[in-house]
Structure 1
Amino acid sequence: MSCYNQCRQWPFLSQEEFELACAFFDRKYIRAELGPTRRIFKVHHRRDATTGTSFIEILRLLSLPDDEDALVAALGKLGRDYSTGLLMEIDSNNENEDAEALRPDIIDGIQTEGKDPPKYSLHSHQPYVIYQIHLHPTYNVPTLWFTLYDLPMGEPAFDLDSVYRYLVPDEFKGRLRAAGIMGGLSGAPHPLTDVPSFFIHPCQTKEGMENLNCPIDDYLIVWLGLVGGCVGLWVPPVMCIKDTGKQ
Structure 2
Amino acid sequence: MSSDPLPSFPFLNPGEFRSICSSFVNRVTGYSGDLRTLGWTNVKQDYQDGSAMLIISRIIDLPQWANGEQNDEGSCLQDDIEDDDPEMLIRPSSISGTSKVEMEYHILLSPTYQVPVLHFFFKNTLYSGPNALEIVYEHLVPPAYRSDLKQVGVMGGISMTNHPISGIPVYFIHPCNTASALQTVQGKEAPTAETYLPLWLGLIGNCVGLYIPKELFASLRNNSDD
TM-score by length of 1: 0.64
Match of 1:128 in 2: 102
For 1:1-247, list aligned pairs within 5 A. Answer: 6-35=5-34, 37-38=36-37, 40-49=39-48, 51-63=49-61, 126-151=100-125, 155-156=127-128, 158=130, 159-179=132-152, 183-211=156-184, 212=186, 213=189, 214-240=191-217, 241-243=221-223
Q: Which runs of 5+ in 1 are unaligned?
A: 65-76, 84-124
Shift of 1:24: 0.7
The percentage of aligned residue pairs carrying the same residue is: 30
Give the whole-Å Cα distance in 1 for the aligned partners of 2:158 and 2:211: 17
TM (norm. structure 2) is 0.70
CA contact (8 A) 2:28 2:216 kept: yes
Q: Secondary structure at the match of 1:46?
A: strand
Q: How far apart in 2 are the matches of 1:46 and 1:225? A: 19
- AA aligned to 1:189 is N
Q: 1:16 to 1:36 in 2, by over 3 A?
A: closer
- What is the CA–CA distance in structure 2 between the aligned matches of 1:56 and 1:237, rounded to whole Å? 20
Query: In structure 2, do the counterparts of structure 1 residues 243 and 177 end up closer, same or farther at CA, with 3 Å as the change threshold?
Result: same
Distance change >3 Å, CA 32–CA 242, structure 1 → 2:
same
Q: Secondary structure at the match of 2:103?
A: strand
Query: Quick check: 1:26–1:44 contact (8 Å CA) kept in 2?
Result: yes
Count how many residue pairs are aligned between Structure 1 and Structure 2.
184
CA distance in 2, matches of 1:149, 1:157: 13
Letter in 2 for 1:138: T
CA distance in 1, matches of 2:36, 2:46: 24
Letter in 1 for 2:21: C
CA contact (8 A) 2:104 2:120 kept: yes
CA distance in 1, matches of 2:13, 2:133: 32
| Residue type of the alignment partner of 1:26 | V
Give me the whole-angstrom Cα distance separating, in 1, the residues matched to 2:10 and 2:38: 33
Q: Is the 1:190–1:196 Cα contact (8 Å) retained in structure 2?
A: yes
Q: Which amino acid aligns with 1:207?
A: S
Runs of 4+ in 1 over 4 A off after TM superposition: none
Contact 1:135–1:141, Cα closer than 8 Å, also in 2? yes
Post-superposition shift, 1:33? 3.3
Any conservation in 2 of the 1:186–1:200 contact (CA below 8 Å)?
yes
Shift of 1:53: 2.0
Structure with the higher strand share, 1 or 2: 2
Q: Once the two structures are superposed, what CA deviation does each residue of 1:38-80 show, in whole Å capped at 9, x if it has no partner?
A: 473033323234x22221111111139xxxxxxxxxxxx9xxx
| CA deviations over 1:167-186 (Å, ceiling 9, x no partner) | 11222222322327x92112
Match of residue 86 from structure 1: none
Q: CA RMSD in A?
A: 3.1
1:190 Cα deviation after fit: 0.5
Gap runs ≥5 in structure 2: 63-73, 79-98
Q: Distance in 1 between matches of 2:163 and 2:105?
A: 11
